[in-house]
Amino acid sequence: MRQLCLPVVAMMSLLCPFAAPAADLAHIDRTIRKEPKYEHKVKYALLVFGPEAKFKVWLAWDGDVLYVDKNGDGDLTGADKRIVGEKRALFGGDGYEFKAGDITAGTQLYKNLEVTITSLAHPDPVSLSQFEQEPGFLKLKEANPDPWHCIIQVGVPVGRPVTKLTGQYVSHAACRDANGFLQFAAKPSDAPVIHFGGPWEVWPSDLARFIIGRPDHFDARIGTPGHGDGAFAMAYYFGSPDIGEYVPKTLRVLLEVEFHDKDGKTISKRYVTEERC
């Protein structure tokens, strides 16, 4: 990959024919028809599925219970929508793992929806050292003295004729991105929106940054943008299947850069990656 050492604003895209119009997640309807009686101060997140983001699944987090609107009807009161979490320790903090199972959105099946929520109030020293390198963590701590680390993941069907993985599933997860850490919201109107099964884009990772006078690799991720901090649904590029199997090696990333010189003049540059990991 080309190396840059400029203060920039960057936009990226895959040089491929798989682009599709992005859904307007900022203005999506956020109505919940019916809710249960909660035991704790509830917090919300909204999942949308498919290229047009028409199938909606509300998540309502109530302590050790997560309500999941699996059939997308806006009613969170069904007995099968109440998921009791398993205790899970991560990064030195206590939390829960919720296994919601498969989601059927129209004719498409999304496999093994899982939500992991862990306290970040007192992370272990190793995790804290890593988090403190990320601007999003400092932003999170300033906004919330009792933050949480949230991971929402599901297996997304590969619906396009992308190499040999057509008809299979690629795990996607929203957790944290260049905008910050994913957090459930106190009101449905403020809930983050995570889009699974939407068009892919290439985004800078939570660690991607440019430092004047020091060349470095630019770290990026493939996935679908959402709405809100940490809502980018990243396609896994390790494990099985490997990213090399569903992103052809002939594809390259286009990096469009804007930076300002010492006189304040805006200069635009375009770079095409020559290598990838």
136-153 confidence digits (pLDDT tens): 888 888 888 778 899 999
Describe the strand order of the beta sheet including 253-260 as a list of residue ranges: 8-14, 253-260, 266-272
- 46 pLDDT tier (thresholds 50, 70, 90): very high
Q: What is the pLDDT of residues 64-91, one digit of tens each?
A: 999 999 999 999 999 999 999 999 888 8
Which residue in this structure is represented by tokens 């030195």? 92
Residue 241: cis peptide before it, omega within 30 degrees of 0? yes
| Predicted pLDDT at 248 | 63
- 224 pLDDT tier (thresholds 50, 70, 90): very high
The stretch 116-143 carries a mean pLDDT of 83
What are the boundaries of each domain within the chain? 24-250
The stretch 104-112 carries a mean pLDDT of 94
Determine the Cα–Cα distance for residues 168 and 236; give it in Å rounded to an integer.
14
- 105 or 277: which carries more pLDDT confidence? 105
Nearest-5° Cα angle at 170, 130 to 104:
115
